[in-house]
Amino acid sequence: NSPNVVTSLSSTKPDVNASHQRTGTDFSILIPPGEALIFKYNNSNSGLEQYIFPTYQNLTSTSIQAIDKSPEWLQNDLRVVLTQLSSGIQDKWANAIINAQDPYVDEIAFAISALSPEYLSSTYAYTEMLDINAEYIYKYDSLFNYVEIVDYGTSADEDYYTTASYKIVNGANDTVNIEIPKETYYWYVVHPQINSEIPAFVKPDQHESSATIGLTNPQNGVFWRTYMFEHNDTDIPNGDFGSYTSSVNANALITADDNGVDSTEFETLAQTILDSLQNIEIYWDSIPLGVASPYMMESYYPQNALALINRYAWSCGRFWSVGAVERPHQPVRILKWGIGRCGEYEDLTVALGRTALIPVTGIEGLSSDHVFNCFYDPLTQASNTDYNIDNWKVWETTITGFVNSYINHDGNGGRWASLNFMRSDGFTYPIIEQFSNGTGTLTINVRDEYAKPIDGAHVVIAAKSSTTTDIYLDNAGTTDQNGQVIFRVGDQRVYYAKVFAEGQETPTGNSVSGVSNNQEVQDGQNYSSTFT
């Protein structure tokens, strides 16, 4: 019932709706539900001579034209999305690609391919947002000296793409220019969604009592990529915080002073953040971990873009100030009102970083009720003695800077259960092994009444608190064709599961089942449970 992708079959570039001889290079193609990709094997020459290709009968001619204009490496993803839209909605987004001019075409095409069909079909989705999203990337590229957007080809080329190059000081104290992978550029600089918010034009002054309140049209709202550096409101945290409610948290009087930034410095930062970034020559200079924190010397942070953004993000909010008032999802609203806990800091840091053309994303520790960030550093390599994830360096804005004991599984912050690296479209992958000295494996098998595996079942796991008897949502996954999903988790925690499949839930009601024998998971051990 769901699309499948066939990869690495010998072929030329596929020609939709045709049967052909196949020779040449690998290809990858979406097979929609109800369709097929069929090859004829020639025994005499061991070749694949003919095939029946998926028809994509519901693609409009405008969509086909837009797909053809897009980079070849994006075309399958665009098909996946566009085939799930009605013809009118298809043409709306396809025309956004067709009407786009270089160098914005690939950024707009990527954003469409990486946003959900549900969102693209909603009343909150405007093509103007993607235009602004792309245009401001290049606008700030022309202003900032520490980064250069690099275009490889144009939309007239078959496989054109864009990435970014950064000036970084290496371990030998030499300034080098290093390009990041194109996937990092598109997913963590270009993508218009931050985290759990609906990408939209927002009315900053409207109280966000629900996820859709304050969303509006391009004429009456602002988008986060334009707002982060052009807002420049020196009244952050906003002194009018409690004007829309009689229930104001007692901590609402916390100001930027309490974050280690005095009011004079904050006003200067807020008024000059864009000018300050234009005067910075270095993206990142590999200073020792722990030095680049909100409490670092004021003489240091103007020397590289990452430290300046860290300082600014820290100064823009009142930590622990929103419990009885609002938990805003929109970065625009978080910046406007200067309120937040770790979740708001995470979102604001991503928005500020990506606006500054810095690749940033979030890290989620749901059952531990804490989130934080990481940024891309091409010179960083993960090791067993730090908290880096490949080329990603931890960025703990809400506490003391880049690395501290709070994020250490074996330190002051308690023991993590699951810990996930987030992509803005909701895709995650586990990184608990980089933060914990001990991990175990939970294997959940889902079977029907005949003991056959059920694929596509939704499995939710929960973890018992490390200090109380409370149980908290921790992670989720989907079973594969073997009816199995595997979770890598931190040790010394007790885990539970609940399964949703074919409209049913097991166990039923507000219940979970133990999956680690109701005992704490031990390092290096595997635990398996089967749900029927």
Decide if pLDDT at 53 tops 60: yes
Q: What is the pLDDT of residue 438?
A: 85
Q: What is the pLDDT of residue 263?
A: 57
Q: What is the pLDDT of residue 297?
A: 52
Contact 404, 386 (CB under 8 A): no
Contact 398, 342 (CB under 8 A): yes
- Record the tokens describing residue 153, joined without a space: 């080809």
Spatial distance between the Cα atoms of 122 and 93, rounded to a whole number of angstroms: 12
Query: Per residue in 266-305, pLDDT tens?
Result: 666 666 788 889 999 999 886 644 434 444 555 566 678 9
Mean pLDDT over 442-453 rounds to 96
Q: What is the pLDDT of residue 5?
A: 43
Decide if pLDDT at 219 tops 80: yes
Q: What is the pLDDT of residue 526?
A: 95
Report which of residues 525 and 262 the model is more confident about: 525
- Lowest-pLDDT choice from 116-125, 510-519, 522-531: 510-519
Position 85 confidence tier, pLDDT thresholds 50, 70, 90: very high
Spatial distance between the Cα atoms of 119 and 124, rounded to a whole number of angstroms: 8
Burial class (CB in 10 A: 0-12, 13-18, 19+), 441: middle
Query: Per residue in 360-405, pLDDT tens?
Result: 999 998 888 888 888 898 887 555 445 567 788 877 766 544 444 4
Spatial distance between the Cα atoms of 496 and 518, rounded to a whole number of angstroms: 8
Decide if pLDDT at 186 tops 70: yes
Q: What is the pLDDT of residue 474?
A: 94
> What percent of the chain clears pLDDT 90, i.e. is strictly above it?
47
Q: Which residue has the tokens 């993508």?
A: 191
- Record the tokens describing residue 200, joined without a space: 């939209």
DSSP string, 240-265: TTTTT-S---GGGG--GGGGT--HHH
- Lowest-pLDDT choice from 59-63, 436-440, 495-499: 436-440
Decide if pLDDT at 190 tops 60: yes
Query: Per residue in 337-367, pLDDT tens?
Result: 777 778 888 999 999 999 999 999 999 988 8
Pairing, β 339-340 against β 318-319 = parallel
Position 469 confidence tier, pLDDT thresholds 50, 70, 90: confident
Q: What is the pLDDT of residue 250?
A: 34
Contact 403, 386 (CB under 8 A): yes
Q: Which long-range contacts (CB under 8 A, 24 or more apart) does 246-254 make?
A: 247/324, 247/325, 248/324, 248/325, 249/320, 249/321, 249/322, 249/323, 249/324, 249/325, 251/318, 251/320, 251/321, 251/323, 252/318, 252/321, 252/325, 254/318, 254/319, 254/320, 254/321
Query: Per residue in 133-167, pLDDT tens?
Result: 999 999 999 999 999 999 999 999 999 999 999 99
- What's the mean pLDDT when you consider all of the chain? 81
Decide if pLDDT at 103 tops 50: yes
Position 317 confidence tier, pLDDT thresholds 50, 70, 90: low
Contact 54, 6 (CB under 8 A): no
Q: Which residues contact 363 (CB under 8 A, 6 or more apart)?
A: 371, 372, 373, 374, 394, 419, 420, 421, 422, 431
